[in-house]
């Protein structure tokens, strides 16, 4: 039997954690469950109000807590029939024969990279791997290019995009992340290696200068508007090119799909690489110098030191920042909105070339006001990002011991 002292201890603990529990419930759990509920309804521009005569609505709907909503303006929203109709309208195009076949071909084309990754993980446990990791990755890239040419990968990708707006914006966003991450890591690593050179003069000055874009990300919209001027028809890039090319009349880069996409990648690269640079520089400085000295005595080249010492020892630092940046890049919104507003569009009602997930959700919510459909959109994204986060935690071994 628990005595008064034990109960008092439990009550004291509950009193301390109660504010946190209340905050998590009010600001995290309740909005999550409310959004799931809305995703099962037809709530929108034509059905904006709840039916407060129903018990469930009284419990979960905030408008019913504050009093009866105005009636007579529109019919109250209700549960969809079937209840998962919003989800099928978003994902239905993915389960057609053409879309599934295109998805299969894309997976087949990318399989050499996955095989190369698995082989590198396997050989990393061996003291003397039979083949270098660089050759394995090179073989993987060649395999992707070869299979992509055989199955006409661009056409398969376009078939997948044509299966629906939800699939299109997600596929474009994932492709955007896959393009950005190698660029972020490579440029950050190159700059970190340069700044880690002890013979470089004014290293502190260069560190301060190179970290400016990352610091400027706090005013991202204002800085992106400055970048926008670079890509205009009379902008800085075309003015520089006109100096070297006679009779040059440059395009408005942001009005062309491929160039707008490239512009978004470049601007995001400018914002993000300092984060990789600073983090990787800290990792480089934590690697014992004795390892490099021993490698030089053994006759190891600079490339061998990089691939066999630097990169393996940087993995505990690199993997978490790649994971965090991937999730952040997937949710990019302010930079893209300020630069292109999701455009240019290929036609009325179609997502623009740079209309990534968050931009698409913003437009749908405030332009169509299809709250039920966008609620389902948010639930699907939450499930996908949650699963990706759990998997990434396993990769980085942040949660090692939890799963055992």
Q: Over the stretch 300-311, which tens digit does the pLDDT of each residue have?
A: 888 888 888 888
**Which tokens hold the place of 270?**
């400018």
404: pLDDT strictly greater than 90? no
- The pLDDT tens digits for 341-399 are 887 876 666 788 888 888 888 888 887 788 888 888 889 888 888 888 787 777 666 54
- Work out the mean pLDDT of the chain and round it to a whole number: 82
Structure tokens of 132? 């270098």
Pick the range with the lowest mean pLDDT from 25-34, 103-112, 199-208, 229-238: 199-208
Which pLDDT belongs to residue 231? 87
* Residue 120, pLDDT score: 80
- Tens of pLDDT, residues 262-277: 999 999 998 888 889 9
* Dihedral angle over CA of 260, 261, 264, 265, nearest 10: -140
In this prediction, residue 186 carries a pLDDT of 93
Reported for 161-166, long-range contacts at CB under 8 A and 24+ positions apart, including other chains, are 163/93, 163/94, 163/96, 163/98, 163/99, 163/102, 164/90, 164/91, 164/92, 164/93, 164/94, 165/350, 165/351, 165/360, 166/90, 166/91, 166/93, 166/377, 166/380
Closest CA to 303 of 131, 113, 140, 132: 132
The 3-state secondary structure of 298-315 reads CCCCHHHHHHHHHHHHHH
Residue 52 has pLDDT above 90, yes or no: no
Report the distance separating Cα 318 and Cα 324, nearest Å: 10
Q: What is the DSSP letter of 248?
A: -
Cβ within 8 Å of residue 152, ≥6 positions away: none
Q: Which two tokens stand for residue 154?
A: 């661009």
Comparing CA positions, the residue from 108, 107, 139 lying closest to residue 123 is 139
Q: Taking the mean position of all CA atoms in its chain, how far away is CA 214? A: 17
Question: Who contacts 213 (Cβ-Cβ below 8 Å, separation ≥6)?
Answer: 223, 270, 271, 273, 274
Let me know: does 269 contact 187? Beta carbons within 8 Å.
yes
**Cis, bond preceding 201 (omega within 30 deg of 0):** no
Count CB atoms within 10 A of the CB of residue 142: 11
Backbone angles phi, psi at 377, to 5 degrees: -55, -45
pTM of the model: 0.82
The yes-or-no verdict on residue 46 having pLDDT over 80 is yes
Separation CA 364–CA 143 (nearest Å): 39
The backbone torsions φ and ψ at residue 79, rounded to the nearest 5 degrees and listed phi first, read: -65, 140
Burial 56-65 (b: 16+ CB within 10 A, else e): ebeeebeebe
* Residue found under tokens 């700059």: 191
> What is the pLDDT confidence band of residue 166, given thresholds at 50, 70 and 90?
confident
The closest alpha carbon to 342, from 261, 262, 237, belongs to 261
pLDDT at site 349: 67
- Compute CA distances 19 → 15, 24, 176, whole Å: 8, 9, 40
Q: State what percent of residues in the chain have pLDDT above 90.
A: 6
In terms of CATH architecture, what is 165-396? Orthogonal Bundle (1.10)
* Exposed e or buried b per residue across 332-353, where buried means at least 16 C-beta atoms within 10 angstroms of its C-beta: beebbbbbbbbbbeeeeeebbb
Identify whether the C-beta of residue 285 lies closer than 8 Å to the C-beta of residue 276.
no
The model's pLDDT over 21-40, given as tens digits with 9 standing for 90+, comes to: 888 788 888 888 888 888 88
> Strand pairing partners for 347?
none
């Amino acid at each position: 039997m628990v005595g008064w002292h034990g109960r008092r201890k439990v009550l004291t603990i509950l009193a301390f954690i109660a504010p946190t529990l209340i905050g998590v419930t009010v600001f995290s759990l309740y909005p999550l469950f409310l959004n799931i509920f809305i995703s099962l309804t037809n709530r929108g521009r034509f059905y904006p109000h709840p039916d407060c005569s129903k018990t469930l609505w009284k419990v979960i709907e905030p408008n019913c807590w504050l009093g009866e909503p105005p009636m007579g303006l529109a019919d109250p929203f209700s549960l969809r029939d079937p209840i998962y109709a919003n989800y099928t309208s978003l994902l239905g195009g993915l389960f057609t024969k053409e879309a599934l076949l295109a998805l299969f071909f894309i997976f087949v084309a990318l399989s050499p990279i996955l095989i190369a990754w698995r082989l590198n993980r396997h050989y990393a446990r061996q003291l003397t791997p039979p083949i270098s990791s660089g050759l394995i990755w090179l073989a993987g890239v060649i395999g992707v290019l070869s299979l992509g040419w055989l199955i006409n990968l661009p056409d398969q990708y376009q078939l997948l995009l044509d299966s629906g707006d939800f699939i299109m914006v997600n596929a474009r966003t994932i492709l955007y992340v896959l393009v950005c991450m190698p660029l972020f890591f490579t440029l950050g690593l190159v700059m970190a290696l340069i700044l880690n050179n002890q013979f470089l003069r004014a290293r502190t000055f260069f560190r301060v200068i190179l970290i400016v874009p990352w610091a400027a990300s706090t005013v991202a919209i204002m800085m992106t508007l400055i970048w926008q001027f670079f890509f205009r028809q009379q902008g800085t890039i075309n003015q520089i090119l006109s100096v070297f090319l006679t009779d040059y009349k440059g395009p408005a880069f942001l009005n062309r799909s491929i160039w707008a996409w490239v512009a978004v990648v470049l601007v995001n690269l400018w914002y993000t690489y300092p984060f990789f640079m600073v983090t990787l520089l800290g990792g480089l400085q934590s690697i014992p110098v004795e390892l490099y000295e021993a490698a030089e005595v053994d006759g190891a080249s600079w490339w061998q030191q990089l691939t066999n010492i630097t990169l393996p020892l940087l993995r505990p630092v690199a993997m978490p920042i790649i994971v965090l940046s991937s999730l952040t890049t997937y949710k990019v919104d302010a930079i893209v909105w300020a630069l292109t507003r999701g455009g240019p569009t290929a036609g009325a009602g179609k997502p623009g070339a740079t209309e990534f997930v968050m931009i698409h959700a913003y437009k749908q919510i405030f332009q169509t006001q299809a709250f039920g459909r966008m609620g389902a959109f948010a639930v699907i994204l939450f499930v996908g990002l949650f699963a990706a986060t759990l998997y990434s935690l396993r990769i980085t071994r942040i949660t090692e011991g939890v799963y055992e």
